[in-house]
Amino acid sequence: MKLLTIIGLSFLLVSTEGYACAKPWRGIVPLHSTRDDVQKILGKPTSQNEIFEDYKLDRYVVTVWYASENCDGPAPYWWGNYRVSRGTVLSVEVEFDEVPLTKLRIRKINKLVKGPPDSTLAVDYFDKRRGLQYSIRSRKLYRVTYGPSAVDAQLRCRSS
């Protein structure tokens, strides 16, 4: 089972390597898909409220974050605010069993923007061009977040 997860993650990461915009996750595209689109693809969430839905899938725990305000609310971490309708997907977090970085091919990870360690000593690496965030703890990848990519910059709210 763990080998299948590693193979799947390796394929997922390598297959998106050369693109200017982030690949959708299972057809869910940040800033373009809606809550209805997500539920058609993933089914009924295990928990939800106005701004997120959780899904427990076979090998993943998935959290989908939604826009609740249009340029007025607090920015969700590094993604920022975007001019999209309420209920539009902002990001998709895919969490899984930890995979050693040595088993994955994430190009130039040390050149990506690096966030500060959180309370669990995890560090996030941001690929703004492709709209990906890699969450790493003890040299192991445990979450990939799909968010807005560089091609979505025109939808970003202006700073006040």
pLDDT in tens, 97-143: 999 988 888 878 888 888 888 888 889 998 888 899 999 999 999 99
Give dist(CA 93, CA 6) in Å, integer: 17
Structure confidence at residue 105 (pLDDT): 82
Give dist(CA 42, CA 157) in Å, integer: 29
3-state secondary structure of 94: strand
Structure confidence at residue 76 (pLDDT): 57
> Residue holding tokens 């998106």?
16
pLDDT in tens, 56-66: 999 999 999 99
pTM score over 0.85: no
- Tell which residue, 35, 27, 127, has the closest CA to residue 79: 127
Q: How many alpha carbons lie under 13 Å from residue 119 in its C-beta half-sphere?
A: 0
Give dist(CA 151, CA 156) in Å, integer: 10
Please state the rounded mean pLDDT for residues 20-24. 57
